[in-house]
Amino acid sequence: MKATETADVPRAIQWREYLELTKPKVVLLLVFTAIVGMFLSTPGMLPLQEFLFGTLGIGLASASAAAINHVVDRRADAEMARTRNRPLPKGSLSTTECLTFALLLGAVAMAILVWLVNPLTAALTFASLIGYAVVYTMYLKRATPQNIVIGGLAGAMPPVLGWAAITGAVTAESLLLALIIYVWTPPHFWALAIHRKAEYARVDIPMLPVTHGENFTRLHVLLYTVLLLVVSVLPYLIGMSGPLYLAVALLAGGGFLWHAVLMMDPQRSRQPIKTFVFSINYLMALFAALLVDHYLPLLFG
């Protein structure tokens, strides 16, 4: 019994390391927005096959992109306190193991989406994977302080992917959902970049607070948050959602804006990380409100 238990421990630890490669919290948020896109794409019940396998394929592709990000950023991760305990920097997995895992996830994701969902969703998901794992991670991240703005499109795509999985089409409504995430991304990530400015500077990643200073970045967080508040109201204005969503968008958007205003005070050293955490909850609340609002007419109509 003792020998079996001893042999099982390293195996269990290794699987935890593989799971960490996928950035599960990030993937869950992306998959959640994809699922909301699925439900909003139709007034009725979802086709079970497209829903289940679309969710699985999009999730696996997101996990593949995250694992590739670990490989590309392994040297920088070793220098940053936030990431130095990831599997590659601490040596619990090799680069070959990580790449094999990432490619396997990506291949399975594409097979599922092509054969069990539809080719359009597979093509869009593949483009998003390449956009994040290659274009953003390998090039934009180190090429320009606008990296997160240009590269944010890949991370904004899950609602479009979910919509396409159910309908086989890309519509203006699905693109509006992507636009919300796209505008949300800069203030979300720049808040973290301010909090981790010294670490990004040490590894020569030109995040906006490193190249243009914290005050410049704080102002842009505020301006993008104002823009986000405006964009978040558009689903109501075009008749895509109702009063419940509008109320949540205004209340949550007002909270995000208040955090951005507080960030303008450099003396509030903890405010950037508070804003970053709030931004995650904000996006979840916004998309949850879209989902609930979508089905209210069915419940009370």
User: Vertex 286, ends 285 and 292: CA angle to 5°?
Assistant: 85
Regarding whether 121 and 10 lie in a shared domain, the answer is yes
Please identify, among 107, 142, 169, the residue that sits at the C-terminal boundary of a domain.
Answer: 169
Regarding whether 156 and 36 lie in a shared domain, the answer is yes
Helix crossing, 24-40 with 158-167: angle to 10°? 40
Q: Tens digit of pLDDT for each residue in 209-241? A: 999 999 999 999 999 999 999 999 999 999 999
User: Vertex 24, ends 182 and 194: CA angle to 5°?
Assistant: 50
Domain enclosing residue 117, as ranges: 1-169
Regarding whether 43 and 157 lie in a shared domain, the answer is yes
pLDDT the model gives residue 239: 95
Compute the average pLDDT of residues 8-37: 84
Please identify, among 136, 169, 202, the residue that sits at the C-terminal boundary of a domain.
Answer: 169
Please identify, among 141, 169, 197, the residue that sits at the C-terminal boundary of a domain.
Answer: 169
Regarding whether 194 and 136 lie in a shared domain, the answer is no
Whether the full predicted model's pTM is greater than 0.75, yes or no, is yes
On whether the CB atoms of residues 278 and 23 are closer than 8 A, the answer is no
Q: Tens digit of pLDDT for each residue in 235-294? A: 999 999 999 999 999 999 999 999 999 999 999 999 999 999 999 999 999 999 999 999
The mean pLDDT of the chain is 92
Regarding whether 149 and 42 lie in a shared domain, the answer is yes
On whether the CB atoms of residues 46 and 5 are closer than 8 A, the answer is no
Regarding whether 163 and 175 lie in a shared domain, the answer is no
Q: How big is the chain, counted in residues? A: 301
CATH number at residue 53: 1.10.357.140
Compute the average pLDDT of residues 171-178: 98
CA quadruple 19, 22, 23, 29: dihedral, nearest 10: -110
Regarding whether 138 and 177 lie in a shared domain, the answer is no
In the chain, % of residues over pLDDT 90: 76
On whether the CB atoms of residues 193 and 217 are closer than 8 A, the answer is yes
Regarding whether 14 and 124 lie in a shared domain, the answer is yes
Q: Is the dihedral of CA 41, 227, 147, 81 positive or negative?
A: negative
Regarding whether 194 and 163 lie in a shared domain, the answer is no
pLDDT the model gives residue 78: 87
Regarding whether 99 and 156 lie in a shared domain, the answer is yes
Domain count, the chain: 2
Regarding whether 270 and 157 lie in a shared domain, the answer is no
Give the 3-state secondary structure percentages of the chain, helix then strand then coil, rounded to 5: 80, 0, 20
Regarding whether 235 and 165 lie in a shared domain, the answer is no
Q: Tens digit of pLDDT for each residue in 75-131? A: 888 888 888 889 999 888 999 999 999 999 999 999 999 999 999 999 999 999 999
Element (H, E) at 118: none
Provide the greatest CA pair distance for the chain. Answer: 65
Residue of 16, 140, 122, 5 lying closest to 69 (CA atoms) = 140
